Amino acid sequence: MEMSEEQINFLRCKADWVWQQTLLLHGRVPEVRIASCLSACDLLSVLFYAGFLSLPEPTYLCPKRDRFIASKGHGSLALFPILADLGFFPVQELENIAHPEAILSAIPAAGFGTFETLNGSLGHGLGLACGMALALRTQKKDAKVIVLHGDGELYEGAVWEAIMLAGQLELSRLYLIVDCNAKSMLGKCDDIISWHNVEARFEAFGWECRRCQGHDVESLHAALQSMFQADSAKPKLLLADTIKGHGVPELENSDICHVLGLSKQRIDQLVEGGRQT
C-alpha cells in the first residue's frame, strides 16, 4: 500500500527532528560517533514511526514484542530521541545523557526501551538474533527479530557464521537491515573490502535480499513493507544505501568522518539551519 502525502510528510518531519535531536545529543556527549548515527536517522524513523514494529506497550519485557537489536552500537544514538518520543522513557532523560545517575549512555545498553542487548563490540548482534529467532520459533511465537547493522561491521567473521546459520535454519522471522554508508572506521569500504554485489553472497547462503535508498522515506517504507510482508522461509536482508554524516558537509566529505566530532557552535548552526539534502 502506497503512503498518502500526509504520511510521507509525517515521516519526513520525524526524520528531520530525529536528525536534529541526534546532533544535540552529540553536543552533550562529544565522544559519540556522530557520523555513523546520522546515516541511520531516516531508516530508524521509518522503521519505528510507520508502524512496522509490534510494540504493545513501552516496555522491553512484553513477551509479544518484536525484538530489535542495535548491533551497530556506535551508531545507535539516533534511537534515543525516537524511544523518548514514543514514551519508552521520559524525554528529559535526553538532557541527562551520560550523567552519573542517567539511564542513557553513549553506547545503548540493554534493559530499557527496545534494546535487547549491549553491542559496543561489533559483530555480535546477528548471532544473538539467530538465537532469539530460533527460540521464538521453537516456542511457536510469531514475533519478528530485527537487526540494525553497519556495512563496515560485515567485516567481522562471526557475522558470516550467523549469515550461514540463519540461511540453513530458514529463520524466516529474522530481518537484517544494513546501513550501507560505504565507510568504515578509517576509510571507504571499497578501499578495504568492497561490498559490490553483496546481495549475491547473501543469496548464496539462502537469504532473500532487497535494496533501497536510505534517505528517502518513500523508498524505505516500500522496501520495509515488502520485506515484512514476504512469506518465504528465508531470512530477509535490506540494504539501505546511505551517506555517512548525512546532512553535515564536512562529515560527508571526509573518509575518516567516523572519528570526527562537531563543536557545540557548529551543532547549533546545523540545528538552526536544518538538514540540507
- If you average pLDDT over residues 12-23, what whole number do you get? 97
Number of structural domains the chain divides into: 1
Average pLDDT, the chain: 91
The whole-model pTM stands at 0.94
Cell numbers of 28, please?
552533550
Give the range among 76-90, 108-122, 179-193 with minimum mean pLDDT.
108-122
Domain enclosing residue 180, as ranges: 5-273
What local confidence, expressed as pLDDT, does residue 183 receive?
86
What local confidence, expressed as pLDDT, does residue 139 receive?
96
What local confidence, expressed as pLDDT, does residue 110 receive?
64
- If you average pLDDT over residues 116-129, what whole number do you get? 82
pLDDT of 61 over the 80 cut? no
Q: Identify the residue with better confidence: 80 or 187.
A: 80
Residue-by-residue DSSP string for the chain = -PPPHHHHHHHHHHHHHHHHHHHHHHHHSTTS-HHHHHTTHHHHHHHHHTT-S--SSS-TT-TTPPEEEE--GGG-TTHHHHHHHTTSS-GGGGGGTTSTT-S--SS--SSSTTB-S--SSTT-HHHHHHHHHHHHHHTT----EEEEEETGGGGSHHHHHHHHHHHHHT-TTEEEEEEE-SEETTEEGGGTS--TTHHHHHHHTT-EEEEEETT-HHHHHHHHHHHHH---SS-EEEEEE--TTTT-HHHHT-TTGGG----HHHHHHHHHH----
What local confidence, expressed as pLDDT, does residue 89 receive?
86
Cell numbers of 267, please?
551543532
- If you average pLDDT over residues 166-175, what whole number do you get? 99
Q: pLDDT exceeding 70 applies to what percent of the chain?
A: 93
Using one digit for the tens of pLDDT, what is the confidence trace for 134-152? 999 999 999 999 999 999 9
What local confidence, expressed as pLDDT, does residue 112 receive?
60
pLDDT band at 118 (very low <50, low <70, confident <90, very high): low
Give the range among 95-99, 219-223, 226-230 with minimum mean pLDDT.
95-99
pLDDT of 240 over the 80 cut? yes
Q: Identify the residue with better confidence: 206 or 63.
A: 206
- If you average pLDDT over residues 35-41, what whole number do you get? 95
- Give the CATH number, domain containing residue 220: 3.40.50.970
- If you average pLDDT over residues 233-246, what whole number do you get? 97
Give the range among 80-89, 113-122, 134-143, 265-274 with minimum mean pLDDT.
113-122
What local confidence, expressed as pLDDT, does residue 114 receive?
62
What local confidence, expressed as pLDDT, does residue 113 receive?
57
Position 145, amino acid? V
